[in-house]
Amino acid sequence: MSPAEAKKRIAELREQIARHDELYYRRAQPEIGDFEYDILKHELAELEKQSPSLAVGTSPMERVGDDRLEGFATYRHRQPMQSLDNTYSEEEYRAFHQRLAKLFGREDLAYVVEPKIDGLAVSLTYENGRFVRAVTRGNGEEGDDVTANVRTIHTLPPELKATKLQPAPGAIEIRGEIYLTTAEFQRINQEREEAGEALYANPRNLAAGTIKQLDPRLVAQRKLEIVLYGIGYCEPAVADSQSEFLALVKQWGLPTVEKFWPVRGIDEAWKAVRELDKLRHAFAYGTDGAVTKLDSFALRRDAGSTSKAPHWAIAYKFEPERAETRINAITVQVGRTGVLTPVAELEPVLLAGSTVARATLHNRDEIARKDIRVGDYVRVEKAGEVIPAVIEVNLQRRVSECRPYQFPDKCPECSTAVIQIEGEVAIRCPNLYCPAQLTRRLDFFASKSALNLEGLGGIIAEKLVERGLVAEPLDLFTLSTDKLADLNLGSDVEPRIFGEKNARKILEAIERAKQLPLARWLLAFAIPEVGEETAHDIASLHSSLKEVASSSILRDYVELDQLNSEMLRNSPTTKENKAKSIEERNRMRPDYEKYKSLADALGNRLIASGLAKPAASKNPPPRNAVATVGPVASRSVLSWFSSERGVRVLERMDELGIAPTSSKHANTASPFFGKSVVFTGTFSTLSRNEAQDKIRALGGNVAGSVSRKTDLVVAGPGAGTKLNDARKYGISIIDEAEFLRLLTVR
């Protein structure tokens, strides 16, 4: 490579890596896998090493990624949080030891080998044994304060179990990773899929997205977990080595690594790494490697570190499991908002312990970008060991007959010409009466988190649409028992009749749904961009459907976003504008000032009325306020309510006499108004969902776990740790009977 080429490649790699850092750390939506990312970084490291004279300016190699976001307070770590050097090669792994062996003049160095947890790094501070703060890694020096969110992690004790003999230190930073179990990841993604929201590719991204939610109530609905393994600042000192420290972490009652290997010398260490690779799939958290650390803290100090990573530790990363297989066909599914999703039908292949026969191809652009064709051999990988993804095509095995894939221009279900909304990647079927969409919408309308019409999903929804009994979900409210009882779930030749008993049950559920609160209805309508969380946020700002439909609050949110973009377009400090001439920038200034003052004024007004939160100003250009509902969802809701479908839905709701309300105008006399309530155990007259809805309708909040901020715990038979926690904090505890009585207080 000529010096000019090397210089160009270094610049290219730096830019790419910076972009992927932003996607991974800040947005938790990476476009490439860790392995691809590590390959880019390796190439850059090599080039920078070979030609240091060409590598001027700051390199992403010298800093750790930055996860800080607007809306959080930042906090400076007392001891910086470093990253780790990593390798995929045994040779480099052994070279790490050789350097240390040379430095210390001995081969039998004591190491600890630990799982490398694929989560997101946090630092917890305990002062005199009490949990006081949780901060993300941020840029290594300072991170976002996520204390309120971390308090929702039920396995994290608010107090260390210290003893007289071994009292808790005055102040200690304990480092670890926040993660989600595979089961919880799948549960949440399934909910998001039902809500038409973008899916998270793996548990790590979802955990990262969750910890950066501004509302701890939402965080409490996702079961985050934590594992602790590292020590930062500590005064006075509590341990002399990693193995001592890990034992102490366990003794204090903190969740820690499932297994670690104290070893001597590099051969034993390598054996432990191999053993870990065999065991790790059974661990509760995802692991992507093994971390090997010098055991002795004294030796660590002598080994030293660079600004980014210590010399006393290294991560050996396991290559993701991949398999090569053929794409037999590409099918296209139509979702309930009309989005067409392409799916690769694969020749079944064994991958990371299970057979994979299908993989999502996401959207049209993704297929084009990777030039994926039917008949191609592709490499599939289980991203984060969960969803199979097509990584790339093996071009060497492409046969010449293989033609580029033509994305359908008609809906595969109803043949209507598809459309692409400006600024979206999704291709949609615009037909309001597309039977595939209608079935999915009906299914969703009846789902647990929407109207909870048990027994109405799947085949019943399909048949109701097919037999013409339902042409839109609200038709359910005019179904007669007879019609529903006569529904044929089989074929004309082999009929299978639904029956009266089943029909009555469903109609009762339909009747009950009329009383459900606004948030559940907003979700049920399957408005694009409105998932469970957004539906709750919108309902907290409005008291009825009509108010949402003509919402001035949502219009303000859209306007705030427009003003901010206009301000940004004219901002003298953005990268694009800095490249412009002085005259041009001067010409833009009045517009910049104008939009800035308009955005400030609107932002301040929204903050003053509690409709937005002040934004932290660390991400230039500063944005003044963060709205409760994002601009994309706000726009989507307004446009849905003014669309043909939305207008029709409002009319039908009126005709049917259904008028869901929210807690916005709740009775302030209710004992639940403004209170945080936790349920535990089982109840005989109400389901959990029903009880929660009632609390919300009365202006209270339902939390998933007990904390000092909990006002009331409702306990039924079988209550467990939550009840103990409530007693510990002296929180009022009531039973079901008392709860039912309080519901009637007005």
Q: Which residues are catalytic?
A: 116
Region 242-301 residues binding ligand IVH, contact defined as CB under 6 A: 291
- 116 part of the interface to ligand IVH, by CB under 6 A: yes
Q: In terms of Cα–Cα distance, which of 56, 58, 44, 57 is closest to 9? A: 44
Q: Quote the strand ranges of 399-524, DSSP E.
A: 419-420, 427-428
Q: Which residues of 543-571 are buried (b: 16+ CB within 10 A; e: fewer)?
A: bbbebbbebebbebbbbbbbbbebbbebb
* Beta bridge partner(s), residue 331: 343
What would the 3-class secondary structure string for 389-406 be? EEEEECHHHCCCCCCCCC
Q: Are 713 and 722 in contact (CB under 8 A)?
A: yes
CA atoms within 13 A on the CB side of 692: 14
Provide the minimum distance between the beta carbon of 82 and ligand IVH in the complex, in angstroms, as a whole number.
4
Provide the minimum distance between the beta carbon of 119 and ligand IVH in the complex, in angstroms, as a whole number.
7
- 346 part of the interface to ligand IVH, by CB under 6 A: no
Q: Which of 109, 134, 313, 438 touches ligand IVH (CB under 6 A)?
A: 313
Stretch that binds ligand IVH, among 80-88, 338-346, 548-556, 692-700 (CB under 6 A): 80-88
List CB contacts of 291: < 8 A, sequence separation 6 or more: 84, 113, 114, 115, 116, 313, 314, 315
Provide the minimum distance between the beta carbon of 37 and ligand IVH in the complex, in angstroms, as a whole number.
11
Tokens 């412009």 belong to residue: 580
Provide the minimum distance between the beta carbon of 740 and ligand IVH in the complex, in angstroms, as a whole number.
47
Provide the minimum distance between the beta carbon of 197 and ligand IVH in the complex, in angstroms, as a whole number.
27
Provide the minimum distance between the beta carbon of 391 and ligand IVH in the complex, in angstroms, as a whole number.
21
List CB contacts of 406: < 8 A, sequence separation 6 or more: none
Q: Which long-range contacts (CB under 8 A, 24 or more apart) does 413-417 make?
A: 413/334, 413/437
- 136 part of the interface to ligand IVH, by CB under 6 A: no
Closer to ligand IVH at the Cβ: 116 or 696? 116
Q: Which of 10, 44, 112, 121 touches ligand IVH (CB under 6 A)?
A: 121
- 83 part of the interface to ligand IVH, by CB under 6 A: yes
* Structure-block tokens of residue 155: 């396995």
Region 146-185 residues binding ligand IVH, contact defined as CB under 6 A: 177
* Beta bridge partner(s), residue 661: 544
Q: Which of 209, 310, 375, 412 touches ligand IVH (CB under 6 A)?
A: 310
Provide the minimum distance between the beta carbon of 230 and ligand IVH in the complex, in angstroms, as a whole number.
5
Closer to ligand IVH at the Cβ: 177 or 529? 177
DSSP of 643-686: SHHHHHHHHHHHHHT---B-GGG--TTSTTTT-EEEEES--SSS
Closer to ligand IVH at the Cβ: 252 or 445? 252
Q: Which of 114, 191, 561, 725 touches ligand IVH (CB under 6 A)?
A: 114
Tokens 């991400």 belong to residue: 619
* Structure-block tokens of residue 31: 């476009």
Closer to ligand IVH at the Cβ: 252 or 640? 252
Stretch that binds ligand IVH, among 115-123, 193-201, 356-364, 471-479 (CB under 6 A): 115-123
Q: Which of 40, 84, 299, 733 touches ligand IVH (CB under 6 A)?
A: 84
d(CA 328, CA 375): 6
Q: Could you tell me whether strands 287-294 and 110-117 are parallel, antiparallel, or unpaired per DSSP bridges?
A: antiparallel
- 208 part of the interface to ligand IVH, by CB under 6 A: no
* Structure-block tokens of residue 422: 């400006």
Q: Which of 172, 195, 219, 315 touches ligand IVH (CB under 6 A)?
A: 315
d(CA 396, CA 412): 32
Q: Residue with the closest Cβ to ligand IVH?
A: 121
Helices 34-50 and 3-21, interaxial angle, to 10°? 140
- 414 part of the interface to ligand IVH, by CB under 6 A: no
Count of residues that bind ligand IVH according to CB under 6 A:
14
Site string for ligand IVH, 582-611 (x = CB under 6 A): ------------------------------
Q: Which of 17, 117, 224, 474 touches ligand IVH (CB under 6 A)?
A: 117
- 229 part of the interface to ligand IVH, by CB under 6 A: yes
Closer to ligand IVH at the Cβ: 83 or 128? 83
Q: In terms of Cα–Cα distance, which of 405, 340, 333 is closest to 368? A: 405
Provide the minimum distance between the beta carbon of 345 and ligand IVH in the complex, in angstroms, as a whole number.
36
Stretch that binds ligand IVH, among 31-39, 79-87, 428-436, 657-665 (CB under 6 A): 79-87
Contacting residues toward ligand IVH, per CB under 6 A: 82-84, 114, 116-117, 121, 177, 229-230, 291, 310, 313, 315
